[in-house]
Amino acid sequence: MKKIILAALAVIMAAASVLYAQEAVKVTAAGKYEFAKDGMEIKVITPKIHGLADTKLMSELNRGFAKDAKEIIAEFNTEAAELKKDNPGADIHLGVYSNYIVKTDTKKYLAFSVYVVNSVGSSSEDSDFYTVDKRTRRLVTLKDLFKKNSNYVQVLSKYIKSEMERRNKKEGGMFWVKPTEEDAFKKIDKDQNFYIDSKERLVICFDKYEVAAGAQGSPEFIIPAKVMKKISAR
Distance from C-alpha of 187 to C-alpha of 207, rounded to nearest angstrom: 14
Same-domain status, 117 and 198: no
Same domain, 171 and 102: no
* Residue 111, in any domain of the structure: yes
Q: End of a domain among 86, 107, 140?
A: 140
Q: Which residue has the higher pLDDT, 93 or 114?
A: 114
Average pLDDT of the chain, as a whole number: 90
The residue out of 115, 140, 165 marking a domain boundary is 140
Taking only the tens place, the pLDDT of each residue in 194-203 is 999 999 999 9
Q: How far apart are CA 156 and CA 194, in angstroms?
A: 12
Q: Give rounded-to-5 percent helix, strand, coil for the chain.
A: 35, 30, 30
Q: Are residues 199 and 164 in the same domain?
A: yes
Confidence of residue 121 (pLDDT cuts 50, 70, 90): low
Q: Tell whether 54 and 134 lie within a shared domain.
A: yes
The answer on pLDDT for 18 being more than 90 is no
Q: How many domains are there within the chain?
A: 2
- pLDDT above 90 covers a percentage of the chain that reads 79
- Over the stretch 51-100, which tens digit does the pLDDT of each residue have? 999 999 999 999 999 999 999 999 999 999 998 888 887 888 899 999 99
pLDDT confidence tier of residue 2, bands split at 50, 70 and 90 = very low
φ and ψ at residue 97, rounded to 5 degrees:
-135, 130
Do both 41 and 55 map to the same domain? yes
Q: What per-residue confidence (pLDDT) applies to 207?
A: 96
pLDDT higher than 60, residue 218: yes
